[in-house]
Amino acid sequence: MTPRTGGPAADPTFLRLPLLGVHLSRRLAVTGALLILLAVVACLLTGLSPLLPVFLVLLFVLAVSPVVGLGYALVVLNTPLGLWFLGAEKVVGDAFGGRDYALGLSAAVVVCVLFALTVVLHRWTRLQLVCASVAMLVVGVWSLIGFADHGVAQTLVGVRLTVLPVLLLAVLFSLTRRQVLPLMTVLAWLLVANAVASLGELAVGPARLVRWGFEEDTAVRYIGDTFRVPGLTSFNAELGILAGAYLLGYVALWLTPTARPDRMSWHAGGVASVLCLVLSTSRSGALLVAGGLVAAVVLNRSGGAAGRRRARIVGLGVVAAVAAGFVALGMAGATSLFQRFDVWADLFDADVPVWGLGIGGVGAATTSRVTSSQQIFIDNYFVSVALQFGPVLGVALLAATGYLLWKLWRRTAERPGSVLLVALLAGLACSFLVIEAWEYPGAMMCLGVFAAYGRHLDAADLPPAAGATAQTTTAAPAPSPTFPVTTPTVDRPTAR
């Protein structure tokens, strides 16, 4: 075959950007560089930070490349304390007028742009359009209720916390399996980095950490005399939920015969997640792991009896190991859980309207810097939804979770890849009982990455269409490298 000699790839006047999947004219690149230089000069003359246009261009580049953009979001959402300690948060904040929250907000902006591009390029089905319309109506109506109850600013914070995991999941589900794999590797190394930081914090000690600027009762917290390390996250509960999410996905892959991991980075992430979970003393993260794995081994209908027996041994063994670690640290008590029962009863006894308080009325939105109401901690996301959206939608969320579990349970008999999805959904539901896990975007993105990988595993178990051959399946045209069609690949993945 004669090689192609024409086109932008061979033209020296073009610059190829493989991560973005586009070709850039050298003349256009030079023009862009000059415009950035002029913008830097203009910022200097007007008193703005000269780094502002540089960061804006960088955000634009991240926002049009799904893998790179999502990798950036993974780092920002799961290492906020580390980025603060390294000074990255201050540098970006100074570029945006001293707003120290600009770095964290930039991850949400990148995700929103990626979602918008995904929506434009996605082929919508009628059911998807109906579901999207209902979701937009619910968010719109309960946002108006929130505006009237506790103000616009606090409501918008609640909208961001509520909607961001949905946007992340939509973008992740638009990726091909080849694009999901590097995100899982990045996630594994982030767990390793958090584990190293946790050991360092334990060695340094809380007193010195406070002298270094770590905030007491947030980054530095105790249960009794036990120091609860935060790792690179904001505080220990965030580290625990993140570690629990990764450990659940990693072990659930071992329970899926066609998806057992063999990458060293994933193994390192699994070991690091156990360490982070124990050192964070997060019983919510432990319940996330235990609930998901128990559901996976009980509801798994795939394989033979011997395979299911081995899966039970692996799953229950991990649960026992995590429980033993908490017992060794003296963190096996249930006093805080019973205290939560009293808090929930008091909240429902309060004068809450049948339509709820609106988005942002309770939970993390009440602890933001723009809050206009008292801080209300729930530690139960089902209760949080019932208080924000009313009891009817709270019950609907419970029913939808049960229905999805039932559907996935039925699929496990013919599609072993569904076992991972069962574990993730069941673990998330269990964590909802003791913490507002949905409002931890880093952990939700971790679960979303595993869910996107599980979706491809589930699709790989589909039987071939009538009359189709292996040759026609593998010869299917590859999707666009930047924003692929959301139909997952159907080739059976290798064990990775």
pLDDT, tens digit (0-9, with 9 covering 90-100), for 306-327: 555 666 666 666 666 666 655 5
- Find all residues with CB under 8 Å of 308, minimum gap 6, and list them: 297, 300, 302
Q: Is the pLDDT of residue 477 over 60?
A: no
The H or E element that residue 222 is part of is strand 221-223
Q: Stretch 247-267: mean pLDDT, rounded?
A: 85
What is the reported pLDDT for 150? 86
CA distance 64 to 287: 37
More confident residue, 418 or 28: 418
Using CA atoms in the order 82, 85, 86, 88, what is the torsion angle rounded to 10 degrees? 80
Q: Stretch 221-241: mean pLDDT, rounded?
A: 88
Measuring CA to CA, how many Å separate 402 from each of 118, 409, 425, 433?
A: 29, 10, 10, 14
Least reliable range by pLDDT among 154-158, 273-277, 307-311, 400-404: 307-311
Q: Is the pLDDT of residue 7 over 80?
A: no
Contact 25, 13 (CB under 8 A): yes
The H or E element that residue 14 is part of is strand 14-17
Token representation of residue 493? 């993945």
Distance from chain centroid for Cα 226: 28
What is the reported pLDDT for 5? 46
Q: pLDDT grade, residue 80 (50/70/90)?
A: very high
Fill in the DSSP letter of residue 481.
S
More confident residue, 23 or 153: 153
Token representation of residue 180? 């999901």
What is the reported pLDDT for 323? 63
What is the reported pLDDT for 121? 82
**Does the model's pTM come out above 0.75?**
yes
More confident residue, 333 or 391: 391
SS3 214: coil
Measuring CA to CA, how many Å separate 195 from each of 79, 206, 216, 230?
A: 12, 16, 21, 10
Q: What percent of the chain has pLDDT over 90?
A: 31
Q: Stretch 262-282: mean pLDDT, rounded?
A: 91
Q: Look at the block and give the residue holding tokens 């603060």.
A: 84
Phi and psi at 68, nearest 5°, equal -65, -40
| DSSP percent split of the chain into helix, strand, coil, nearest 5 | 70, 5, 30
More confident residue, 229 or 352: 229
Distance from chain centroid for Cα 289: 16
What is the reported pLDDT for 333? 52
Q: Is the pLDDT of residue 426 over 50?
A: yes
Q: What percent of the chain has pLDDT over 70?
A: 76
Q: Is the pLDDT of residue 251 over 80?
A: yes
More confident residue, 116 or 490: 116
**Among 332, 330, 294, residue whose Cα is nearest residue 425:** 294
Measuring CA to CA, how many Å separate 71 from each of 82, 179, 454?
A: 16, 11, 19
Least reliable range by pLDDT among 155-159, 292-296, 415-419: 415-419
Q: Look at the block and give the residue holding tokens 């000074």.
A: 87
What is the reported pLDDT for 364? 86
pLDDT digits (tens, 9 = 90+) for 448-471: 999 999 888 877 655 443 344 434
Contact 224, 240 (CB under 8 A): no
The count of other CB atoms within 10 Å of the CB of residue 44 is: 11
Contact 118, 176 (CB under 8 A): no
Q: pLDDT grade, residue 419 (50/70/90)?
A: confident
